[in-house]
Structure 1
Amino acid sequence: MSAPSAASTPRLFANRNFTLLFTGSAISAVGDQFTLVALPWLVLKLTGNPGALGLVLMVMALPRAAFMLIGGAVVDRMSPRRVLLVSRGVNTAFVVLLAALVLGGGIRMSLLYLIAAGIGLSTAFAFPAASSILPQMLPREQLQAANGLVMGLRQASMILGPVLAGLLIAGGAAPHAPGALANAHGLADARGMGLSFAVDALSFVVSLASLLLIRLPGEDRPKAAEGGVLADVVKGIRHIGADAQLRAFFLYLGLVSVFVGGPVQVGLPVLADTRLHHGAASLGLLMTSYGGGILLGNLASQRSLRLSGGRLGLLILGFDTLAGLLLAALPQAPSTTFCAILLALMGCFAGVAQVGVVSWIQRRVPIALMGRTMSLLFFVLMGVGPISAALAGALLKVTSLRTLFMGAGFLLSAIALACLSRPNLRGLGVGEAERATDPEGVSG
């Protein structure tokens, strides 16, 4: 997938549905970053315990993991717009509640666990729906340009959103009032965190309005289906299991998510809080740097894939080997700036892989199975990985942050190097044909 050309972009925005989706998604994507920064900061300020942060992430991940595959099957048999509308509406309600509780001084960890579980359940349906909606509104020849714009938008939000959120949290109280950074119940940075959740809630309202105005062709006609939703889930899993390269890639991605995803999710906020000098602002800068690196990687992806001769698997494994070494070096960094540079480089590697993998899946998987395939992709990325965050938080009670990062980094490099010997992974992307047609019997 390459960046959209100047000629293709006007044609995309001539499509009313795409314009509405892009506008709503742009505002919502920035708002999401406020919660992604404020939520871990809230947990650390309420408890001072990295293990609690890992537990919150696990509570959010469990319902998301349990219902993600069902969400993909629901999307394949219903309108992705309607599924996305309902799931984002539920998410809006939880974020509004979270903002009110923080600003009003009523937030407690017990309530936060319930809200995290609710958000996790709603996103189990939102992610496969959002990744399946473009093929419903655009002709196939425009999908590559549209995906490039949407993915670039997502990464641009990771540049702008976290730094704004960090500044809002750090400066959320009146500077002339000593101790005003805490609310009436003594929670530090309460006003800034509450306002961050409120910003995200407002962005969801804009996204809901845009989805209400979108009309997809044929969404009022019920889709033919055989069997129940669970049978559809089984069909999707069997299709992936029968494809040797898809199966190998998903297994590799699962290993990376389990052994690396958790330590990074828990370790970065702890690194900013305990070793860097600017607190929430440092965390925002680190997340922004990573997002900026991914955006640069997106832009460089086409050239990188061309230079590699289309050997996507070889490119991913090589980049992951280098990324593991950078991750191991992160706790040795002497400043926020140096940490940001390391994360930007890791983001570049991830950005190249991200564009290549999504394009590869879109070419390889039948459209009737796209929701289920994407749901399994998100299941591995977002359902499995955060579960390891609970283990990472527990490990920080018995080991140092330096050991956690070094262990995760060297393990990532070792896994990537070992997988270079696997032909199905090493040769991924070589000689790929266009997207497969719908095989008989899977469209239900």
Structure 2
Amino acid sequence: MPSAPGTSSLARRDFRLLFGGSTVSAIGDQFTLVALPWLVLKLTGSPAALGLVLATMALPRAAFMLIGGAVVDRLSPRRVLLAARAVNALLVSLLAALVLGGAIHMGLVYALALGIGLATAFAYPAASAILPQLVAPPQLRAANALFMAMRQLSMLVGPALAGLLISVGAHGGNRGMADATGLGLAFAVDALSFAFSLASLALIRIHGDRHPCVPGGGVLANVGAGIRAAWADLPLRAFVMYAAVVSVFVGGPIQVGLPVLADTRLDLGAASLGILMTANGGGMLVGSLLSGLAAKLVRNRLGPMVLGIDGLAGLALAALAFDHSTLGGAVLLATTGLLGGIAQVTVVSWIQHRVAPEMMGRTMSLLMFTFMGLGPLSAAVAGSLLKLIPLPALFAGAGLALTTVALGCMVSPALRSIGTPLRAPAEG
């Protein structure tokens, strides 16, 4: 059962296990997030190849994310998360062995990226749905802020350590790839972090383990019911559609652009990429800690706050077009992280309060689909665009597009009403 409203979430054994395992896993994930794009660039030297790898991960994630949410609602989110992370641990371990053994090539990179994307389609909605089963509703905002702070702290620590490890391990390697040893060790660190997370998940017990609430009909019917429920909730529908537009037009260019910026315009190579990602994580850490204060200030006017934040973040991203130093890029990424951290905690907490528990997996999968399923698909297009336009134009276009969309949506009554506490009705 969730903890009592007056009790700290950290007083709960199961919450501490989830938080501890997730912390180690999140730090490990940052090693792969830095190492994978660097590996592709060192194997191919092609931004288009990097975009294609990101799209290869995104396709199964996008195709199965909604199904993953339905599976979570039919089964225990803990069991689904345990299985998905076990698959990821196996795939990342294999990637580490191949890189260290000098046997890696792009065909294997694409195959492993495909498998990782499929596993994360189930992991993301499961991880989002498990928290409301561990804490009482009044504690959700604080618990989400704690998890967001942890994730951003991992982004503060992990990328810098990963960049340092890759740079220190730059000795010899496969196909003249100077960073092969460091890259292999970075993937190995992520594999070890998955093992720690699996051990903690195995010890957790939640209400859904003993009393699963299986909705009627098949999995696809459950997916349809979840989409209909979200569509019937006008503010929720408006936010999901807005997030999808932002992910498509902004997420991809940033995913491809940052590694290329570090490789071609900055002075520290992989370490510069790590510093940029660390700065973004540090900004989001501070933003998550400020989210409670921001929620009190705006009360139920969450919509205008989110749109205003995105408008400012777009201008910061556009300024990357003029960046030629690691320090300057770090300042801009820290600014966007600060703004994003404030918005994310408040939005996720609002949705968890608003949605019925039996719909949580499907609703969160729909939200994750917009943030993590669609964005990388545009990375393939962004990589191809870099053959036609310079990198500054990519950053300027992405940032100004975000600002334009955000300011244009200020006139939408549905988006401006985001923050109201209505609980959506459940469907089958």
The TM-score, its normalising length taken from structure 1, stands at 0.93
2:275 corresponds to which residue?
Answer: 285
Question: Structure 1's 274 and 17: CA in aligned 2 closer, same or farther, altered over 3 A?
Answer: same
Within a 5 Å distance, the mapping from 1:225-374 to structure 2 comes to 225-374=215-364
1:436 corresponds to which residue?
Answer: 423
How far does residue 367 in structure 1 lie from its aligned partner after superposition? 1.1
**160, 163, 166: which is aligned to 1:166?**
163
2:384 corresponds to which residue?
Answer: 394
CA separation in 1, counterparts of 2:386 and 2:162? 26
CA separation in 2, counterparts of 1:135 and 1:298? 18
1:147 corresponds to which residue?
Answer: 144
CA separation in 1, counterparts of 2:242 and 2:407? 12
Tell me if structure 2 keeps the 8 A contact 1:8–1:145. no
Question: SS of 1:133's equivalent?
Answer: helix
Within a 5 Å distance, the mapping from 1:125-140 to structure 2 comes to 125-140=122-137
CA separation in 2, counterparts of 1:412 and 1:306? 26
Query: Structure 2 counterpart of 1:37, which letter?
Result: V
How far does residue 331 in structure 1 lie from its aligned partner after superposition? 2.3
**The structure with more helix, counted as a fraction of residues:** 2
More divergent stretch after superposition (268-277 vs 334-343): 334-343
How far does residue 224 in structure 1 lie from its aligned partner after superposition? 3.7
Matched, 1:28 2:18: no
1:4 corresponds to which residue?
Answer: none
1:177 corresponds to which residue?
Answer: none
Question: Structure 1's 82 and 172: CA in aligned 2 closer, same or farther, altered over 3 A?
Answer: same
CA separation in 1, counterparts of 2:254 and 2:214? 43
1:70 corresponds to which residue?
Answer: 67
CA separation in 2, counterparts of 1:20 and 1:328? 40
Query: Structure 2 counterpart of 1:417, which letter?
Result: L
**34, 41, 44: which is aligned to 2:41?**
44
CA separation in 2, counterparts of 1:70 and 1:270? 34
- After superposition, give the CA deviation of every residue in 1:248-279 in whole Å (9 maximum; x if it has no partner): 11111111000000000000000000000000
More divergent stretch after superposition (319-328 vs 88-97): 319-328
**99, 104, 111: which is aligned to 2:96?**
99
How far does residue 422 in structure 1 lie from its aligned partner after superposition? 0.8
Question: SS of 2:84's equivalent?
Answer: helix
Query: Structure 2 counterpart of 1:348, which letter?
Result: L
CA separation in 2, counterparts of 1:339 and 1:241? 39
CA separation in 2, counterparts of 1:425 and 1:418? 11
Matched, 1:213 2:203: yes
Question: SS of 1:351's equivalent?
Answer: helix
Query: Structure 1 counterpart of 2:62, which letter?
Result: A
Structure 1 unaligned segments of length 5 or more: list them. 1-6, 174-179
**405, 408, 411: which is aligned to 2:398?**
408
- After superposition, give the CA deviation of every residue in 1:122-142 in whole Å (9 maximum; x if it has no partner): 000000000111222333333
Question: SS of 1:161's equivalent?
Answer: helix
Query: Structure 2 counterpart of 1:107, which letter?
Result: I
How far does residue 282 in structure 1 lie from its aligned partner after superposition? 0.3
Question: SS of 1:219's equivalent?
Answer: helix
How far does residue 222 in structure 1 lie from its aligned partner after superposition? 4.5
CA separation in 2, counterparts of 1:185 and 1:21? 41
Query: Structure 2 counterpart of 1:428, which letter?
Result: I
Question: SS of 1:398's equivalent?
Answer: coil
- After superposition, give the CA deviation of every residue in 1:298-319 in whole Å (9 maximum; x if it has no partner): 1112222333343111111111
2:189 corresponds to which residue?
Answer: 199
Matched, 1:157 2:154: yes
Number of residues of Structure 1 aligned to a counterpart in Structure 2: 425
CA separation in 2, counterparts of 1:345 and 1:11? 31
Tell me if structure 2 keeps the 8 A contact 1:333–1:339. yes
Tell me if structure 2 keeps the 8 A contact 1:271–1:331. no
CA separation in 2, counterparts of 1:390 and 1:293? 27
How far does residue 119 in structure 1 lie from its aligned partner after superposition? 0.1
**RMSD between aligned residues:** 1.6
CA separation in 1, counterparts of 2:234 and 2:340? 23
**89, 106, 109: which is aligned to 2:106?**
109
CA separation in 1, counterparts of 2:104 and 2:215? 44
Question: SS of 2:53's equivalent?
Answer: helix
2:178 corresponds to which residue?
Answer: 188
CA separation in 2, counterparts of 1:413 and 1:150? 28
1:15 corresponds to which residue?
Answer: 12
Query: Structure 2 counterpart of 1:15, which letter?
Result: R
How far does residue 428 in structure 1 lie from its aligned partner after superposition? 1.7
Within a 5 Å distance, the mapping from 1:413-424 to structure 2 comes to 413-424=403-414
Structure 2 unaligned segments of length 5 or more: list them. none
CA separation in 2, counterparts of 1:164 and 1:410? 32
Tell me if structure 2 keeps the 8 A contact 1:259–1:388. yes
